[in-house]
Structure 1
Amino acid sequence: MIVRHGTRQPSLKNIVAMKERLPQIKKLLINNSNLPNEYVRATDLESFHKWESQLKLEDEHKLAHEGEEEMLLLAERMQSRFPVLDNVYSNSSFQFKYTYSQRTKESAYNFVSGLFGRATAKDVWFPEPSEKDPILRFYKSCTKWKYNVKDKVKYSGEHKKFENSSEFIKVVENVNHRLGLKDELKTDDVSLIYVTCGFETAWKTQTESPWCLLLTEENLKVLEYREDLKYYWQDGYGYELTYKQACPMFGNMINMFQKNSSLPRSVVYFTHSGTLLKMLAHLGLYKDEQVLTSENFRAMDNRQWRTSQIDAFGTNLAFVLYDCRQEKMVLTLHQEHIVRLPSCPDSDLCELKTLVEYYSESINSCDFNHICENS
């Protein structure tokens, strides 16, 4: 099982912006004589009066309380689905591993607490994390991907082109218009509002973030598409190299399933968005017929590649091995739901030998250093 860490705190850059720029925007709204209006109600303004940032710079990227709860509940649900995973821990039956980060370490601890209870969780053994783990965070060691894909997408990707499209420009104009402003809010401001809306929704599932009130459903669709464009090209199907480099992790799973040994019974890796998305693309899941570009926003309204659904906090991808009358079969779960792999499109269970045959190139030609042109 591969698990993205639970809900976390924002990056340092976003925390600074939330602490410095959001209070300025709040002031713009509260002191605006054009408000309330037909779009912004008096109760909305009252929500902003009460809003204050509680973020601390030192909390960047740390697992949030909600993330702890997500991992506990995820473990409990998986155990109830697979009772064979009893709640008696031994380091030969269970293997857990996390990356070199606080958010995956704490996610792992809370997950094992959900499986075995907090008293036992303290005794669970974890290997020392590696800053560039070749399985859990393979892309950190891929030189070619870093320079030819990541840097390229960051500075001149399709999501950057989309920001200059008429659809995106209209969002900024629309937000200013509804808030009774001229052009005080820029692209970065609207992006910050969107990011804050997302984080505060994740942190407080029972109450609506006041920042979400400033965006219409149409605004959200446009902002979401920009985000999907970025991750499609950086971590998904945009470049073959991106998903091809995930072969070490895929091979790790196949190797475990091909062993005759019954141990370990369960292996759980705690990692990051970049790993999960590349693995999903490596498997051929959520692949649209059309390529996502800055020019086909309207045509991709029903796209499969929607990161808010396939790569949220706590995203998980699990492979379950069954021994069915001496035939090894594999069940694949994504977000705890059964998904059918391209190797077996008509069946929930896929024979292991069929899986190996379909992905034979990934298994047999996984020369990571060659793929990534590492010296």
Structure 2
Amino acid sequence: MANCCTIYKILPLLVLIISIWLVTFFRPKCHIFEPEICLHLGTKTPYRNVANLNTDSLNYSGCVPKKIWAIIRHGTREPTTEVAHVMNERLHFLKQVIVSKIDSGEATLCPEVKESFEKWVLNVHGPQYLTTEGANEMLLLGKRTRLRFPDLLSDKYSNTTYKFRYTATERTEKSAKYFCSGFFGSEESRNVWYPEALHKDPILRFYKLCNKWRKTVSKNPLSVVEQKQFMKSDEMQVIVEKVSKRIGVQRPLLFDDIYLMYQMCSYETAWNSTIVSPWCVMFSVEDVKVLEYFNDLRYYWRDGYGFPLTYKQACAAFNDMIKLFTSESSEPKAVFYFTHSGTLLKLLSFLGLYKDNDRLLSSNYAKLHDRKWKVSQIDSFGTNLAFVLYKCGKTYKVLILHQERPVRIPGCPDGYDLCPLNRILDIFDNSIKNCNFNEMCSSDEL
């Protein structure tokens, strides 16, 4: 009888324990942040995710570096005034919805996300201004660049040895100056001279001067057809439904809301390496891969392989490098240009890099899951492309670095970092001899 009494006394406790276990075991797991998301943020991907931190000298047996020509995208920036305004209004509204849905238990987000959203505010200092992270990206890139070529690049500035230039924007000007601070040191970098910056620079932003490109590509509805169709695809609809369900709203969100969250996730990830943006928690890795492709479609058709004129006009920048490397003068030894995403993508396409066998279309996301054209990797903030001229005995060879790593352009020998200069001159012979920019950009024909 005593044993029965004991069982009856502990029975409520056993029921409680079993109930807690059943609820814990069978309830849906809350949605958590996945770190891999940060690798798929399009052109807003922070440079730290793709940078090569190895600063070993780039030595090749029997070869001596003689000149370097580099073109660099500005570091991490803030959004445009227009985008910041939309974010400030719409995302603050959505944040209130998310907090209330977490409170009511309708959201599948983890409870700790609530505090992050409650604290969230958009903090923007100026339209497309360089951020602290962007300054650090350039500072460290400058340091690594000089360390890799100690015999070529001196830490003492000379107006004849070095040439620096940036476009007429705050973000490229600051990027150039932080790069030089890392390259020369803060004291010596004050001696660096920069020419007057241009809004429509014929080398750094050649496409701004190409009226034909602006009319037939940039402002052509055909250049956004594939992206708009993909926005309505089954893959994108699945994301809209999944994110809406995570928040707990009955009516699916608009795609524009989903994309704003993705943009904010991208910016805040780039701005701060130690804090997870609450907006990133809204997505899974597969979600952001689809959104990444949405971005890739835009840049492929507007700044990449979509229309031949887009990359052919980049001969203006390429020929500036050729002129430096074929000049009989030993000066300048180093040229560093600071520019924008559009310039880098067009130049990469001109070189034939990251070209897939299939064109990027709204219908072939699954087929191109492992594509080469991923702007998250090839056009992050701080993206850079450098050409280094080596003298190897009696011949000259060229090392091409993208994101500080050797790359081989089509037509150069397989298995070698260095490509003979004469081979490059042969590959691009027509572009070098017939880069008539004014003629190329005056016609209205595609």
The TM-score, its normalising length taken from structure 2, stands at: 0.81
Q: In the alignment, is the contact (CA less than 8 A) between 1:6 and 1:70 conserved in 2?
A: yes
Q: Matches of 1:117 and 1:359 in 2, distance apart? A: 37
In structure 1, the partner of 2:135 is 68
Q: In the alignment, is the contact (CA less than 8 A) between 1:149 and 1:234 conserved in 2?
A: yes
Measured after TM superposition, the shift of residue 35 of structure 1 is 5.2
Matched, 1:29 2:98: yes
Q: 1:315 aligns with which of 376, 383, 395?
A: 383
In structure 2, the partner of 1:103 is 171
Q: Matches of 1:29 and 1:38 in 2, distance apart? A: 7
In structure 1, the partner of 2:432 is 363
Matched, 1:174 2:242: yes
Name the aligned partner's letter for residue 359 of structure 1: F
Name the aligned partner's letter for residue 73 of structure 1: L
The superposition leaves residues 304-355 of structure 1 with CA deviations (integer Å, 9 ceiling, x where unpaired) of 0000100000000000000110211000000000001112141210110110
Measured after TM superposition, the shift of residue 157 of structure 1 is 2.5
In structure 2, the partner of 1:231 is 299
SS of the aligned residue for 2:322 comes to: helix
Q: 1:193 aligns with which of 258, 261, 264?
A: 261
Q: Matches of 2:205 and 2:105 in 1, distance apart? A: 49
In structure 2, the partner of 1:343 is 411
User: 1:351 and 1:185, CA in 2 relative to 1: closer, same or farther beyond 3 A?
Assistant: same
In structure 2, the partner of 1:137 is 205
Measured after TM superposition, the shift of residue 231 of structure 1 is 0.1
Q: In the alignment, is the contact (CA less than 8 A) between 2:73 and 2:382 conserved in 1?
A: yes
The sequence identity of aligned pairs, in percent, is 47
Name the aligned partner's letter for residue 357 of structure 1: D
Q: 1:80 aligns with which of 107, 122, 147?
A: 147
Measured after TM superposition, the shift of residue 238 of structure 1 is 0.5
Q: Matches of 1:113 and 1:255 in 2, distance apart? A: 27
Q: 1:252 aligns with which of 314, 320, 329?
A: 320
Higher relative contact order (CA 8 A, sep 6+): 2
Measured after TM superposition, the shift of residue 358 of structure 1 is 0.7
Q: 1:116 aligns with which of 180, 184, 191?
A: 184
Q: Matches of 1:24 and 1:345 in 2, distance apart? A: 56
Q: Matches of 2:107 and 2:353 in 1, distance apart? A: 43
Q: Matches of 2:134 and 2:247 in 1, distance apart? A: 33
In structure 1, the partner of 2:369 is 301
In structure 1, the partner of 2:109 is 40
Structure 2: give runs of 5+ residues left out of the alignment: 1-69
Matched, 1:352 2:408: no
Q: Which moved more, 1:332-341 or 1:41-50?
A: 41-50
Q: Matches of 1:323 and 1:155 in 2, distance apart? A: 43
The superposition leaves residues 102-153 of structure 1 with CA deviations (integer Å, 9 ceiling, x where unpaired) of 1000000001111111222222100001111110000001111111111125
Q: Paired residues, what number?
A: 373
Q: In the alignment, is the contact (CA less than 8 A) between 1:29 and 1:35 conserved in 2?
A: no
Q: In the alignment, is the contact (CA less than 8 A) between 2:390 and 2:396 conserved in 1?
A: yes
In structure 2, the partner of 1:10 is 79
User: 1:47 and 1:34, CA in 2 relative to 1: closer, same or farther beyond 3 A?
Assistant: closer
SS of the aligned residue for 1:32 comes to: helix
SS of the aligned residue for 1:122 comes to: helix
SS of the aligned residue for 1:313 comes to: coil
In structure 2, the partner of 1:273 is 341
Q: In the alignment, is the contact (CA less than 8 A) between 1:3 and 1:268 conserved in 2?
A: yes
Q: Matches of 1:81 and 1:96 in 2, distance apart? A: 19
Q: In the alignment, is the contact (CA less than 8 A) between 1:36 and 1:42 conserved in 2?
A: no
Alignment of 1:145-156 (within 5 A): 145-153=213-221, 156=224
Q: Matches of 2:198 and 2:110 in 1, distance apart? A: 51
In structure 1, the partner of 2:54 is none
User: 1:278 and 1:228, CA in 2 relative to 1: closer, same or farther beyond 3 A?
Assistant: same
SS of the aligned residue for 1:118 comes to: coil
Q: Matches of 1:350 and 1:213 in 2, distance apart? A: 45
Q: Matches of 1:348 and 1:142 in 2, distance apart? A: 34
Measured after TM superposition, the shift of residue 292 of structure 1 is 0.2
The superposition leaves residues 274-304 of structure 1 with CA deviations (integer Å, 9 ceiling, x where unpaired) of 0000000000000000000011111110000
Q: In the alignment, is the contact (CA less than 8 A) between 1:197 and 1:212 conserved in 2?
A: yes
In structure 2, the partner of 1:332 is 400
Q: Matches of 1:153 and 1:345 in 2, distance apart? A: 40
Name the aligned partner's letter for residue 298 of structure 1: A
Structure with greater Cα Rg: 2
